[in-house]
Amino acid sequence: MQERFGRSILELGGNNALIVGSDADIDLVARAAVFAAIGTAGQRCTSLRRLILQSDVHDKVLERLISGYKQILPRLGDPLHSDTLLGPLHTQNAVKEYLDTIEEAKKLGGRVEIGGKVIEVKV
C-alpha cells in the first residue's frame, strides 16, 4: 500500500521553434533567438531548439545570428567569473554528445555556420 499520494510532476523537455515570416523584425528575431537558445544555457523546457524561417529571410537571420554568437564566444568560460555569460559543458561525455550531434547534423545535410568545435579554456 502506498503511504503518500501526491501529484506527479513531469519535467519534459520542449522542442520549441521560432517561426519567422517575411514581415518579421529581423533584428528582434536574432536577439530573441540567441537569448532563447542560450540565455538559460538550455536548462529550461522553453529553450529554443529550432528556427523555421521563410526562405526570403533566411540569409538575413543567419547573418544576424552569427553576429550575435560572435559576441557571446569571448564570454564563454568559468561560471564563477562575473564576466562569463555561458559556462562550459561539464563532462567529457557531454562534449562527446555535442560533437556526435554535430556530426549527425552534417550527415543529414546540415552545416556549421559558427562554432561546432571544442573550445579549450585555460584556467
- The question of whether 45 is a catalytic residue gets the answer yes
pLDDT in tens, 71-112: 998 888 888 889 888 888 888 999 999 999 999 999 999 999
pLDDT in tens, 11-28: 666 778 999 999 999 999
- The question of whether 11 is a catalytic residue gets the answer yes
From the candidates 3, 11, 113, 120, give the one annotated as an active-site residue.
Answer: 11
From the candidates 3, 45, 104, 120, give the one annotated as an active-site residue.
Answer: 45
- Contact present, 14 and 47 (Cβ < 8 Å): yes
Distances (CA, A) of 118 to 4, 13, 36, 72, 95: 46, 25, 22, 15, 7
